Structures are given as structure tokens and as C-alpha cells.
A and B are shown apart, each in its own frame.
Chain A
């Protein structure tokens, strides 16, 4: 679910990240106010159409997001069939699906930097309490950067242990992984220092050459 940006210059790509997030939030609220299966199906169809035609995204970009939760949606549907009824079940499933696809469209058409900038903007009022919004943005960006890296390290350790015949020990993996991650964290801290993270301006520099 990381780095899902699909480069392009469609209308949706060019729309402001803040607007896209606002629409997404509004859709989220709207979908929970309505309870009709037809409206849900309509919403799902609409976001799919927006994603595929307006944003010109490949089907794959949307499917990738939905695939990991198929099973849960199916279970949810089954649960509703047993506990409530077909109508409630389809509303619940279609609603989640519509939201998921809508979120996929937003993430696929918006750069992480732009999303992070919106979050920094939202966090700006916290400045009063001494919070530095740029810091929040950096932490988010670094999380997105390092999750795949840690996953990769974990996979490598698993391979190394499997190569030595340990194909059952899962807990044993945690120790070398932790050591590797901590060691890297030290260097990352130094790198942040070396790259001036501490010098970060209190505000984002304006898009003019006037600041000097």
C-alpha cells in the first residue's frame, strides 16, 4: 500500500491535494449517512469511472488496493447474511469498496509530498503548542520510506534462517531484525544531521526568490 503514485497529468492528478482529501472525507461521511444499496452501487461505479476515465489510471492500480481486503469483505458479507440480511450486507460491503477505490484514486494521483504538505497545513494550528508541522511531515515521509526497507531486511533474515534449516522459528527473527534496524537508525539520525534536518526553516520557504 506504499508508493502508489501513478505519474500522469490528468485533471485528477492536477487537482490540489487538499481538495482531493476534502472530497474523500466528504464522500466518507456521505456514504455513512445513506443506507440504500442502489446509492452505494452508484457511488462505487462513480469512483471507478473517475479513476479509470478521468484520472486515466490502469485497472491494476485500483485492483492492487482492493486485493488484500477481498477476504475480509467476503467475511463481512457472510457475517451480515447470517446476522442481518442481504440488504445490510451489500450496503456495508459496497460502502467499504467505494471508499477503498476512492482512496486508491487519491493516493494514485497525488504525490506523497503533496499529501504530506496538506497534513503539515492541517497541523499548522498546533504550532501554538510548540509542535513543528514540518517535523510531522518528515516523520510521515520517513515512515513511508523505511517500511519497505524494514520489510526487505525481514525477508532477507528469513531467507538466511531458512538457508540454515530454521523454517519454523518466527520469533527468532525479531532479534537480528531489531539489531539491524537499531544500527540503521543510528546512521539515519546522523544522516538527518548531516543533511540539515535541524536547520529546517520554521516555515516552508515561499515560492519566491525574495527570501534571503
Chain B
């Protein structure tokens, strides 16, 4: 059934190239006068990609480019062949985003309602939405909190809820911007395990370097440029060495 509100929306899928990955071509991003990203060109096809770098180096901006939350000042970002500039909606359906602070990401008062929000927006029928909500409540040990106010959850549970809310939308890829920065050690490990077990491709921006041990590729960002790019066994020690 079509509502006739956005007739061209489905035409987007015509150009999808599944598995093409995320491609950045000569991406530059500027806030006011400040160049935040400068001449970034690369293609991400790996299952696990990490992004590290100092505060203010441009990591969050980079992450936001990947699902079209930020459109580059110049250059192009393609997600499986879809341009984030002209096909933002289709891109956002494919790429989920988990923010550092789950409190900003949870928008409904109770746990189950919040889980239903994303799929409902996508037009998923109510009974299927309910099925996904149950699945997520189960998978992340939130079943006992179904009708609880989200603000009464622990920090770790809130982050799990935020992740589950994204997973309920069934994206192909998920970008995480510092998902463990606000968590204690136990919850950091829990979230790390959750990310590890995801079948989706993920990009994780983090200051927790040990999160990246099993990753396929790690980018080091410095002053808006990707200054190192390779296996974590090489890039992480290189990055740490630069701090000394």
C-alpha cells in the first residue's frame, strides 16, 4: 500500500549496490571557517571498522557523514551506491546510528514504546513491530523492564536499549559514536560483546582502544585527516606511540 506522499522514495532502491560498502570521495567538511574534515577518500567494506583520534579531531563528524546526518560541504559519500546527499532517507534506513549518550537517543517514556519507535516510523505493521520489540527485550535482558520508565534504567541498560532500538529497524550497518564512553568497566565489556556479536557491519568511534582488538581495520583521524589506516595491530600502537 502506498500513501502517495513520497512517490519517488522507492526508486532509490534501483541504484543500490549491495555490499559496495561506504565510499567517501574527496570529502571536505567545514563548520563556519573551521575545516573539520579535509580531503578524505576511502572505501569501507570490512565488517569491523574502528575510528580513533584526539578530541576535536573530527571523528564524530566523520561518523555522521556515514549515515547522512551530516552532508559533506564538498565531495560525495556513497552507501551501497546511494548518495547521502540526494538519498538521505534510503541511506538512513540502511545505516543505524548509536550515539554516545543514550539519554539523548531514547525518546519515548517507557522501554517497550521506545523500541517500537523506529520500526513504526518505517511503516512496519504493528504486529511485526511487536514481534521485534519482544525479540529485543529478550535478547538484551530488558523483558522485566518492558513498561518501566526509561530514565530509571542503569547507564548500561540505557545504552543496550539505545542499541536495541536501532537493531529493531534492521539496518545493514551500524555506526557507533563512542558507545562506551559513559559506561563503567563491566558495561563497557557488555556493550563490546554486544557489538562483537552483531551480524551487521559496524563502524565504531571510540577512545577505548581495547574495544578494537578483533577489528578488521582501524582509522586514525588527526586534524580532519585520516593519518593512519590499517589493521589494529599496526595502527593502534602507532597512535599510542604518537602520544608519547
Q: A-side interface residues toward B, CB under 8 Å?
A: 2-3, 5, 7, 111-113, 138, 141-142, 144-145, 148-149, 152, 184, 187-188, 190-212
Contacts and interface: CB of A to CB of B under 8 A. Distances in A.
Interface stretch (B11-19, B20-28, B110-118): B110-118
B166 A184 contact: no
Contacts, number: 122
A195 B147 contact: no
B243 interface: no
Interface residues of B, number: 43
B104 A191 contact: yes
17 contacts: A112-B113, A113-B108, A144-B109, A145-B150, A152-B151, A184-B104, A187-B105, A190-B64, A194-B69, A194-B97, A195-B166, A196-B93, A196-B118, A197-B117, A199-B123, A205-B126, A206-B125
Contact of A207 (B64, B67, B127, B165): B127
A195 B161 CA distance: 13
Contacts of A152: 151
Interface of B: 1, 3, 5, 64, 67, 69, 89, 92-93, 96-97, 99, 101, 103-110, 113, 116-118, 120-129, 146-147, 149-151, 165-166, 169
Contacts of B150: 145
Contact of B117 (A193, A195, A207): A195
B3 A187 contact: no
Given A3-B109, A145-B106, A198-B89, A208 B169 contact: no
Given A149-B103, A202-B5, 14 more contacts: A5-B147, A113-B113, A145-B151, A184-B101, A196-B92, A196-B122, A196-B169, A197-B117, A199-B122, A205-B123, A205-B125, A209-B125, A209-B127, A210-B1
